[in-house]
Structure 1
Amino acid sequence: MDGIVNQGVEPFFKILFYQNPQPMWFFDTVTLRFLEVNDAATKHYGYSREAFLSMTVRDIRPEEDLERFEEVRRALNGANTMQRPFRHIKGDGAIIHVQLISYPVAYEGYNARLVMVHDVTEQELLIERFNLISKATHDAIWDWNLESDEVLWSKSFMQMFGYTASDIESSSKFWSARIHPDDRDRVMSSIYEVINTQEKNWTGQYRFLRADGTYAYILDRGYTLFKDGKALRMVGSMMDTSEQVALLQARLDTEARLHTLTSASPTALWMSDLDGAIIYANQKWKDWCDVQGNEDLRGQWSRIIHPDDLEMVVDRFTKAHINRAEYNVDYRIMLKDGSLHWLTSTGLPRYQEDEFLGFVGSCTDITRQKYLELQKDEFISTVSHELKTPITSIKAYEQLISRLKTVDDPKAVSFLGRMRLQISRLDALVQDLLDISRIESGKLTFNATELEMDVLLADLVSDLQLVFTSHRLVITENQPCKINADRNRTIQLITNLIDNAVKYSPLGNEIFINLVCDEAYLTFSIQDFGRGIPREQQPYIFDRFYQVNDVYKAPGLGIGLYLCKEIVKHLDGKIWFESDPGEGTTFYFKLLRNI
């Protein structure tokens, strides 16, 4: 050994070499012949020293590994340190897995390498067992040495999470660092609690980081091995439950959406059992019944049904329940605030595997529809009256005129003027009714032309002032403005708004009209000083046939503002109003100039 150490340290080196518990040897890098081996090598491999020295390092390798050995040898090419896994053949023919570390040295005049051997056969066999188990279970198997903190992973771990062998570290920190930050403290606390309290079984659920940056939902189970009260190892398996968690989350999301929909539904939803008792109701149903929290639902619904309708409703439901048949019924309910509401109720029998379980149903508030039906009936009566009145007047005036000897008579002129006014009212009424029909059939026509709105407004207000003599029509601002729109529809729009302002300000005497214009839009407003619109009726002002219901019953059919809304909509504009009860109302519309 004089070639590798000086004489002063040679005794110590010999002791380290020959008495080392790890197998060690020198070999010639040219001939590959063993030059020297220590006692641990002869003992571990089962070859005598003489047998070793008669062989080369190729001779202790399986034939199928020789090609790889030559590749490693060529790649080595004088490198200082080499660390590689190999397989070796022992004297009894057994094949072992080893991890070699070698260094280039000069030994007895030879270019040699000093080799240290670490037998890892047990670990390799353990990994093979891991892989067999993981193939059978599809889980990632792990073995944690609690004394050295070394963790062995099965190949299925890499397949499950996308890591390569070079990514994986043997320390438990590799695992703990990849637990989701929100789960880490809980998981680590639970696993060490099992270890410290000498419990054997541990189970944890957490999110684990995949190689691609996403998280998998994991069910992890471990078993602790103790010796003399000391935890030595923990072995376990990681199951990827991401698919199951996703399915569960999807179901929970569906249930949450369904709960949100039923809770927010404007329709009351309910479910009854075999006896007809309500066992589920959404928030709308509970609000109507004034039910709080988990209060018993049974008997609550019949309590709010109008007394005059209760017998009929119970009879319909009972018959449907007996016959397992669908039912539909309209009736009234009385709420806690004293308001009366019309409902239409529908119920369907529900089954599970052909077994009748009760009913599921809904109750929809149709108070508005009932009110509209009443309005429709009133409308028919009003139309009759509104059409008959001008016609009767026309006939009467015509009879008077026919008795006069000359049309130069002042009375004749007055009568003729009144006749024309009534004819104008009748013509406008008929035109409005026709327009409603056209709107419903989609046949309302628009012929756009360039209009000078300031001129049109001035002329129109001048003409209307002759008709609406009870009020002074005041144009407060009339800016020059050109617009591309339908002339007749625009006149109809403004006329209806002025007519509405006059009708609903019977105690007023002025109407303010305003027209302003910018580069893109025209904005029109008309202000009356009448009684204003009650707040509870404001949402319905633009509804067809709707009339404000107050002490001053204005004449008309309730179609003027509806037509205004439809005309503005067809002109791609916007119409709205501002109203304070007792202080009057201002209507606005805004149109795109399209110039």
Structure 2
Amino acid sequence: MTPADLGRPRTPSAAREQITTDSRTERFRARIKMLGSLSCQLSRASDLDELFRAVYSELAGVLELNAFVLGQYDEANQVVHVVRQVHSGTELPGGSFPVGNGLTSEVIRTRQARLIRQWSIDGPRWQVGYATEAEGFAQPESGVTVPVVSDQRVVGVLSVQSYRAHAYDEDDLLLLEATAEQVSGALRNLRRSERLDSQLQRRVTELETILASMADALLIVDASGRIVSLNRAAREVLCIDDSAILFGKPLSHVQWREWPPAARAVADALEPIIEALGRGEALREVEAELRADGRRVLSFSCAPIHDEAGAPFGGVIVFRDTTGKREMELIKNEVLWMASHDLRTPVTAIKGYTQLLERRLTKGQATPELVANFVGVLRGQSDYLVGLLNLLLDYSRLEAGRFELEPKRIDLVALVNDVVASVQAMSEGYRVTLQTPPVIEGDWDAVRLEQVLHNLLTNAAKYSPAHGLIDVRIEADEQSATVRVADQGVGLAKSELGQVFKRFYRVEGTRRLEGTGLGLYICQRIITASGGRIWAESSGPGHGSEFCFTVPRYSRQIEQRCPRGACCWPSPACWEQVSPRLRSRRAQA
């Protein structure tokens, strides 16, 4: 309207046109505002339900809605899944229906929006109906249904309906199409978010599985040292039941009356590690020795977690029990010390007698008797040296799991007689009595069984008084054979009966005698691998000892005890660790 028009009288038709124009302008502005508001709401929607309610609430403010439906289209299965629907202001659950002959199916097939001004005139034959409390059943008279398209594919439908004819026009159709475009973008975002959530959940599940299966204990704390998370291994080390709630408090504040001292000691050892994390420090394999439950060593490593600004806001602590590792290091040192100490004796003797013999020969003072005596000493020391080296070699094979048994049919009585004769020849001054049946046959590794018998007999001679009696007895039945070697030596205290088979163990009062502390340990491993057991008996110190072992007579009896095989090492449960060569030989037998 121009300034000249202000004073000019207006006709009724012009006034009506102006009102109509103003009304359409106002409706247009309201719909633009509605689309802007909807865009904001859809950007915050976290699931389909929120998306549905946002679209419905905005459309209900600008359109007549007796019914509203939002559906997703499953192209692969030709099925429409109704997310939600509203009828007369009441939200109803969705459902599913196959693509057929109705309006929704037509829109999906043609990918074209449909405006139904009056259903009886321009609507399809198939028409949806709704149950109502007042009329029982009602059918819409008009409606608008538009496809939701994404990447050139129909992914859903939007439908608004009214019980009044001519409730919608072309402007409403355009509004629904604009709304469908926004819904399409929101669905893409939701699917992307769902994929990300799924990936994140999968990563979280993988991480939780890794943490739960970790042999090392893991603890996560925040900047104040409060527990955020801990895995099962950490709960076990700290003796914390799965039902115990620790999150949100430091370990130093945990006070349980029945908390074991060992767990409390671990918690105390963790405190300086947590304090280091609070200062942003990273530590690697810091060892702490605990004595609450004996000598125990734990190794701690930690790393701080930083925020985007680089400030520490917590950290991860990984710790493990390294007592076994420390013990293995001590054992290794003991082996080295023992080897250097015990090898020095025969080497020194051999060197000394060789030098002495050389001087006598140079001076012409070497009589046949002297040479024979020196050669005997050298042979004895050489035999001792070879035996010691073999013992160390057997021990290294044991620890590496490379010790194999090769059972063959042998006579145990003949083997015992040979060993007794050999020991008597080397250890004069001892009387050996032998009580055996004529023959005891069985499937045994003759070399290893001879090693056990030789060790038991030489120990009996070593720890017995001069002219002492050594009694050897063999008993057998159809299933097994038992060998007993009794002496009149130093005897064993009750507490030592089980200790003597441990590596490097030496009986109190016998350390002045030569010995490595490995002989009985190796004997025990050989007998165990043979499917038997070995033990010691004694009435106490000064009353002598009796060492006994029992072994199955035939390999099939060992296999019955251990289906995985008779010749496994170091125990019948470790058949998989036996060398391929032995496994193939067993398979061919």
Q: Fold conserved (TM > 0.5)?
A: no
Bigger CA radius of gyration: 1
Of Structure 1 and Structure 2, the greater strand share is in 1
